[in-house]
A and B are shown apart, each in its own frame.
Chain A
Amino acid sequence: MRARALSVLLGLAALTAASTQAAAERLVASLSTHRVMITSNFTGEELVLFGGVEQDNASGQRRGGYDIVVTVAGPRQSTVTFRKERMLAIWVNSDSRVFEDVPSYLAVLSNRPLSAIASTETLRRLQLGLDNTPLPQGASVNIAEAGSDDPFRQAFIKIKTEHGLYREVSNGVTFLAPELFRATIPLPAEVLVGTYEVDVRLFSDGMQLARTPAPFEVYKSGFEQVVTAAARDHGVLYGLATAAMALATGWFASIVFRRD
């Protein structure tokens, strides 16, 4: 245990030493809000993330300038992807894959295309971008994780993208000044309730210099929250109340429209 801690410490020290001679940038980031409230008029929302790069005396002006990659990952969810095949003249779901504990929402925002920010290898190592995000498949498939050309994986990402839940935006980050940037995080109405991890990474000359988290939370409030909690925690009572509401509406209508 102690040996591992020591090696981690040494590794960190080595890293810091390697980067300090070039620079010691610090990254700060803040969201316009940390709590997104779902109320009865919720139709999606846009969050704004502001951030700045703090340089200290040691760091000179970087030749390549700064690059920012913001990755937003929503609450994890297991999802089945079905594939239809023709069987006796009708199309039926024949094959399926379960994507286990994958982000329900995933946005990768950057100031220019990821391929221009870092090498393919670096992006793969840091798991940056939709193509490099691990989407583990379980159950029926024996390969723990299929490659990025797996048709199920591609179909999954395509459908998620069509719903606005997965996106890679190469102009999602704007530099307001050389050290000041802004990113817009679009949340469609379909977002799940839960904690959203925001990972902000600073790059320069294809190297990652710093990263900082800025999580936020999506939650239901007011009427929406009361209904959801009642349905979940008191199912029978909720059902009885709903059925009573139906009977009352029907009764009321028969009185209002009574003609005989």
Chain B
Amino acid sequence: MEIYLPIADLPVNILVILAMGLAVGFISGMFGIGGGFLMTPLLIFVGISPAVAVASVTTHIAASSMSGSLSYWRRRAIDVALVCMLLAGGIIGTAFGVWLFTFLRAVGQLDITIGVSYVLLLSIVGSLMIAESVRAIVRVRHGKPVDLRRPGSHMWIHGLPFKLRFKRSRIYVSAIPVWGIGFLIGFIGAVMGIGGGFLLVPLLIYVLRVPTATVIGTSMVLTLITMASATVMHAATNHLVDALLALILMVGGVTGAQFGARAGQKMRGERLRLLLGLLVLAVGLRFALDLALRPDNLYSLRPLDTGI
């Protein structure tokens, strides 16, 4: 069943796109991430131009994090104060990221920067997650309790000034790392076109020691706000958001996310993190292969001023 996408300017099989939405939605529901780092490469793979893919995926992520946010809101598992503090850093990070994006495109080094950052980011984050979760699984095997919070062990980050108390998360941390994390997520999101959930969740857990109860809900609300504003920004500046493509993706995505969330609740936390780590690492390695292997065709075309 082919349908012609008005902005992407090509016909796609509606069932293929729907299936992709379902699959990525399942994963995003299971791990509480947006899944942009999976969806964007998939869309490029079916022939949609990277610019349209990145722009339309932001809309898709906005929808899936909206439905996630609502259910976490009802469970009162969102730390609004933390979201606001993260956003404060995130806005500056996004602006800085957009500036760098424009600069790199002007000097013609955008593709390679995105490629290398995908590889570095995904393999480092993936490896760290695998290492951590394997350690946790081993600890459980030996009959010791899994204690993520480890209240006694303070890192240097917890000695920083401007301490704030986040009641919902029951943490007492300096505002500096919170802003820093917000800045990093906003910056990476703008440059690489990803929501950054897979990065934000571990940062909140390991650096800020946010308890598992509020971490995913908080991450989802932050993703929702950044991705919804990214949609408007992409549409206003580049005219690259394909509403039809986004709609098909989000219908598949929100459905898949429901089943994913149920599957995720049945699994132990450390197993879930191991799976996500493996997935992230696999995508990172896939990008590394693309960069390292001799391409079939050394040449590639790109139309200038891809307006409409």
Contacts and interface: CB of A to CB of B under 8 A. Distances in A.
A35 interface: no
A246 B246 contact: yes
Given A80-B301, A228-B308, A245-B247, A42 B7 contact: no
A242 B235 contact: yes
Given A91-B295, A93-B112, A227 B75 contact: no
A258 B62 CA distance: 19
Contact of A41 (B3, B257, B293): B3
Nearest to A85: B298
Of A227, A231, A236, A260, most B-chain CB atoms within 10 Å: A231
Contacts of A43: 2, 4, 11
B160 interface: no
Nearest to A159: B301
B229 to A, nearest CB: 8
Contacts of B300: 81-82, 84, 93, 159
A253 interface: yes
A89 B4 contact: no
B71 A246 contact: no
B301 A90 contact: no
Interface in A159-202: 159-160, 189-190, 192
Given A42-B11, A78-B305, A251-B66, A246 B228 contact: yes
B132 interface: no
A43 to B, nearest CB: 5
Interface string A222-245: 011101100110011011111101
A96 interface: yes
A92 interface: yes
Contact of A250 (B7, B66, B308): B66
A243 B228 contact: yes
Interface string B217-259: 0000000100011011111110101011011001100110110
B292 A41 contact: no
Contacts of A224: 4, 6
Contacts of B307: 232
Interface string B150-182: 000000000000000000000000000000000
Interface residues of B, number: 65
A133 interface: no
Given A43-B11, A240-B232, A79 B67 contact: no
Contact of B304 (A80, A92, A238, A254): A80
Contact of B63 (A79, A189, A235, A249): A249
Nearest to B74: A260
B139 to A, nearest CB: 32
A39 interface: yes
Contacts of A80: 301-304
Interface string B62-76: 111111111100110
A91 B218 CA distance: 39
Contacts of A245: 59, 63, 243, 246-247
Nearest to A250: B66
B64 A236 contact: no
Contact of A98 (B74, B243, B304): B304
Of B115, B228, B293, most A-chain CB atoms within 10 Å: B228
A240 B239 CA distance: 12
Given A236-B236, A242-B59, A83 B70 contact: no
5 contacts: A40-B3, A235-B239, A251-B66, A253-B255, A254-B70
Given A249-B63, A250-B254, 7 more contacts: A44-B11, A86-B294, A190-B9, A190-B10, A236-B236, A249-B66, A260-B71
